[in-house]
Amino acid sequence: MKVDFAKLAAKLANISDCDVKTNQVLAPYTAYGIGGPTAVWVAPETEEGIGSVLETIYASGVPLFILGRGSNLLVADRGWQGVTLYVGENLSGWKIQDRDARVLAGTLLTDLITATVENGLGGMELMAGIPGGVGGALRMNAGAFGQEIESVTVSLRGFLFDASPFEASRKEIDFAYRCVPSLEQVVITSVHLRFNSENVAVLKERMNDILALRAKKQPLAYPSCGSVFKRPPGYYAGALIEEAGLKGEKIGGAKVSEKHAGFILNLGNAKAADVYALIRRIEDRVLQRFGVQLEREVKLIGEFE
């Protein structure tokens, strides 16, 4: 089906409080700093605006990509031939009352964790340093050191891709290890979180210890998507990659970190094709050497190969 993207962009521009562009390059909105243009870019500033945008997009039949803070994805060099719905800085912020927080999906997770710690609210402090937005964290049930966002979630709301309103409590959501199947077709707009009241100084110490540990063990000097692969049952992806002799392996401007082999770095001039080729090489080598099929944590957007 041939799509008149200019006509679709004009329709979306008629929706109030929406920033609409055509051929917007996605690289600046990804943690990797990699990615070609999207045919149409739309960034609503309200939850209601997202519903209106989804209604228009669904009626057009155009492929849709939801972009949050871009921390766990790799956008193809040719970009995305469809609509990118941005739910990032345009839809961020929170309100804290007692032990509860109402948070918009585009809020940076690190900003929220800092705010909750400063308010004496525990439950996410061990997740300090995890990149990305709150919506993305919910979509993948982000977590670290025994804490997951599931444990503080009360309920969330948003829209299905057909613009139908969506609301669910924690009990209705199938949170699992780094995946939440029931949210795969949901555009999350906001979440209600509930924390534990704890001593601010104790929480700050925990948070700072985690941040120091991340700085020591993780390669933070170059752009990356974080952990490229999920942890295989009974193994650690980084250890398997290192034992397969791939630490420091390079293709083009992409390199397996010598500090933590679970990370692939953009040395400054990497293309998506370089990163993808390195992902495939790692998968093949680890499978041949150990019989373990690594599962990707990074999401691929657009056409590869």
Indicate if 257 belongs to the active site: no
Rounded-to-10 torsion of CA 95, 99, 104, 105: 160
- Residue 266, beta-bridge partner list: 254
Which residue, 79, 86, 81, is CA-closest to 36? 79
Helix, strand, coil tally for the chain in percent (to 5): 35, 30, 40
Taking the alpha carbons of 252, 259, 135, 13 in that order, is the dihedral positive or negative?
A: negative
16 a catalytic residue: no
Per the residue annotation, which of 227, 242, 283, 285 is the catalytic one?
Answer: 227
Contact 74, 275 (CB under 8 A): yes
Q: Is 297 a catalytic residue?
A: yes
**How far, in Å, CA of 204 to CA of 222, rounded?**
26
Of 178, 206, 214, 281, the catalytic one is 178
Q: Are 12 and 62 in contact (CB under 8 A)?
A: no
Instruction: State the Cα–Cα distance between residues 195 and 204, nearest whole angstrom.
Output: 15
Residues involved in catalysis: 178, 227, 297
